[in-house]
Amino acid sequence: MENISISEGGQGKLAAYISIPESDCPYILIVCHGFRGAKENSGYIFTFAEKVNKLGLGVLAFDFSGSGASDGDFANISLSSQVSDLRRVIDYVNSNYNRQVILLGRSFGGSTALAAAGYNEKVAGYIFWSTPVKLYETFSGLVEEFARLEAGEELEIKDEAGSFRLKPSFIQDLAHHDMKNYLQKSAPCPILIIHGAADEVVDPNNALYIYENTRHTELHIISGADHRFSEYITEREDLTLNWLRRTFS
């Protein structure tokens, strides 16, 4: 995959990888990482992109502002800021490749892909991996000090990757997003949902909610799979590749 930098939009640079097959490429898959994630997805993006390329589809994976190698401060994260980043990436693909795009989002990256629904007519489909749409419920379970955040206090949070700051604006911003409305906007497009039945971070009911409020949707709840699909990476990729092959290849 080729390293690129997306600077359109007059904001900080977004670091990205892109891989375009030599054959005619009608679609480009844009991959959105999860909360505290990065475009490499622990290294899995490279082999996954190769498999997608073999279907005749391009792949672009990028870091949201404040994550990975992109400019910005993670403490300023919000759903609105990530939607803005994704729109910049869609515009970049439109300007440089003039191709339709398929949005793949993992966890909060899927929430972002959904919140961008209706932005650009070139978006042809959506893939949601372990994606939350009940955002308050999800983050109140994820962040122990959620009440302090709601009360306006900035938090210093530690996880397995280290420590990070989270501002009250993150929670305040969620009130500006109507996820059910976004689902209605996405409805004309084909949708794939893959979620782990043992997801300890995002309740599988989120996947059922997406399924029940959309059309042209395929749903897979994988027995035993946790939020990271720790033992089920290959199964998730195979389901995704088969769906892409049937729907877009």
pLDDT in tens, 121-179: 999 999 999 999 999 999 988 777 788 888 999 988 887 778 889 999 999 999 999 99
- DSSP 8-state code for residue 96: H
CATH code for the domain of 235: 3.40.50.1820
| Domain span including residue 90 | 2-142+177-247
Residue 199 token pair: 């997801």
Q: CA 33, CA 35: separation in Å to the nearest integer?
A: 7
- DSSP 8-state code for residue 63: P
User: Is residue 150 included in any domain, yes or no?
Assistant: no
User: Is residue 84 included in any domain, yes or no?
Assistant: yes
Got the DSSP string for 146-168? HHHHHTT--EEEEETTEEEEE-H
pLDDT in tens, 22-55: 888 999 999 999 999 999 999 999 999 999 999 9
Domains in the chain, number: 1
User: Is residue 159 included in any domain, yes or no?
Assistant: no
Spell out the residues 6+ positions from residue 226 whose beta carbon is closer than 8 angstroms to its own.
196, 198, 199, 200
Cα separations in angstroms, 175 against 36, 108, 150, 244? 21, 16, 12, 33
Q: How many CA atoms lie within 13 A of 108 on its CB side?
A: 23
